[in-house]
Amino acid sequence: MTDVHVESAELDDGIPVMYRDSGTRVRVAYDPKQISEDAALVLVCLRIPRLVGGSLRLLRTTP
């Protein structure tokens, strides 16, 4: 099981998503002014293919 922690944050222009993969935990920050949460998760899944079809738990962090 991989925990995917998602939070919105104000990021620099041109950097819509940042993530850190720690194996069983992935932290994702996205800038809602630049990208939607859904699109950010798609990008992260493209970069971390084991998340697709795998066992993950999506956890949203409130700012």
What would the two tokens of residue 19 be? Answer: 């993530």
Q: Where are the domains of the chain?
A: 2-61
Name every residue whose Cβ is closer than 8 Å to that of residue 9 and which is 6 or more positions away in sequence: 18, 29, 30, 31, 63
For the segment 10-22, what is each residue's pLDDT rounded down to a tens digit?
999 999 999 999 9
Q: Distance between alpha carbon 37 and the CA centroid of its chain, in Å?
A: 8
What digits encode the pLDDT tens for the residues 21-47? 999 999 999 999 999 999 999 999 999
Mean pLDDT value across residues 51-61: 88
Name the one residue in this structure whose structure tokens are 């939607």.
36
- Cα–Cα distance measured from residue 33 to residue 21, given in angstroms and rounded to the nearest whole number: 23
Residue written as tokens 């194996």? 23
Where does the pLDDT of residue 63 fall: very low under 50, low under 70, confident under 90, or very high at 90 and above?
Answer: low
In the three-class reduction of DSSP (H, G, I as helix; E, B as strand; rest coil), residue 42 is classed as helix
pLDDT for position 56: 86
